[in-house]
Amino acid sequence: MSVDPVAIARDLLRCRSVTPVEGGALAFLEDVLKQAGFAVHRVTFRETGTDDVENLYARMGAARPNLVFAGHTDVVPPGDEKAWKHPPFSGEIAGGEMYGRGAVDMKGGIACAVAAVLDHLAATGGKPKGSISFLIAGDEEGIAVNGTPKLLKWVADRGEKFDHCILGEPSNQQVLGDTIKIGRRGSLNGHLIVTGRQGHVAYPQRAENPIRGLVSLIASLQSEPLDKGTPQFAPSHLEFTTVDVGNKTVNLIPDEARARFNIRFNDNHTLDSLKKLIEQRATKASAGKIKFSFQWEPSNAGVFVTTPGPFTELVAKAVAEVTGRKPELSTTGGTSDARFITQYCPVVEFGLVGQTMHQVDERVPLADLHALTAIYRKIIDRYFG
């Protein structure tokens, strides 16, 4: 008899694990995996100025290859709970769909992975031909400092290695089977600051208005493309998101003006090379006439790509056989914990459909839970076959 991913998803959704609170989700997984024979570790990491975060690592087997399923049980806040058709931590089913915060991002994906692994073990005498691991973080929806990056290092310090990873983030855009994520763009935030000289608006010759310089630099930085893209990535782009002066006096020229921006970049750049490029372009545009500086926010969101090959082909074939769709190999979207995992092994992202993630009434069709479980099962069977 197959393990029911719907029941596992329901029990996970009933855990109020709003980041960075564990909320019982890891305790539930620990119990399920221990009963199946996994060695389970719950590890808490801390850092000054951040919340303590509990994470889970489980493994069965000692041999290689080691296939790891990764994910996170923390979720974003539900917002106004009264606005939900069904309580966000109830796991209620209506109209063939299960409602709850984390249904698609990504407790549903974890439930499918657990069900598929348990089914595989039941069919193979309770042990894999190699190793199967679970790497589950507790702060992916937060600042991602005390979760996956530290858990990966903790595992590596134990002398363990991963061979391939499936991250169950909601990769699909419209329907299950349309997209496999094989990479992610990098993300960098910065502030452009222009300084001038304060003065009375009636005597502009006695002042230096920084807003003029800021507008000029903004136009210049957005006028020239950062690159033309690469075989796996679209062109990088810079977007200004705020312009701030903070001047409430109508007849006063301010002495400073700021603008905040974000850059989503491809594998033409690193975080350091991108900063250098932007600073060089601003210097050229200022022509020595604008006093400016940059403040760069810390970032652990570098770019990565998993080169298509036998592993991506194995995953894509399993998807096609279950759904009848040939998935697109994509690098679109925001960041994910795959940016950390790629430093340890090849990783692809394939999970549920992300249309309702982070929304009121986040929900997943029960049919998708069963289909994703079937896809994961095919992947596991062939990986060890």
**What CA–CA distances, in Å, run from 234 to 31, 170, 229, 262?**
43, 20, 5, 16
Length of the chain: 385
Catalytic residue positions, numbered: 74, 140
Give the max Cα distance, the chain. Answer: 86
Identity (one letter) of the amino acid at 340? F
Rounded distance between C-alpha atoms, residue 61 and residue 68, angstroms? 12
Rounded distance between C-alpha atoms, residue 348 and residue 366, angstroms? 23
Peptide bond into 298 cis (omega under 30): no
Which DSSP string do the residues of 289-346 spell out, in sequence order? Answer: -SEEEEEEPP-----EEPPPSHHHHHHHHHHHHHHS---EEE--SS--THHHHTTTS-
Residue 67 dihedral angles phi and psi, to the nearest 5°: -95, 125
Rounded distance between C-alpha atoms, residue 114 and residue 123, angstroms? 14
Cβ-based burial of 51 (10 A; exposed 0-12, middle 13-18, buried ≥19): middle
> Is residue 89 within 8 Å of residue 101, measured between CB atoms?
yes
Distance of CA 52 to the CA centre of its chain: 20
Q: Which two tokens stand for residue 143?
A: 């600042």
Identify which of 178, 188, 177, 171 has the alpha carbon closest to the alpha carbon of residue 70.
171
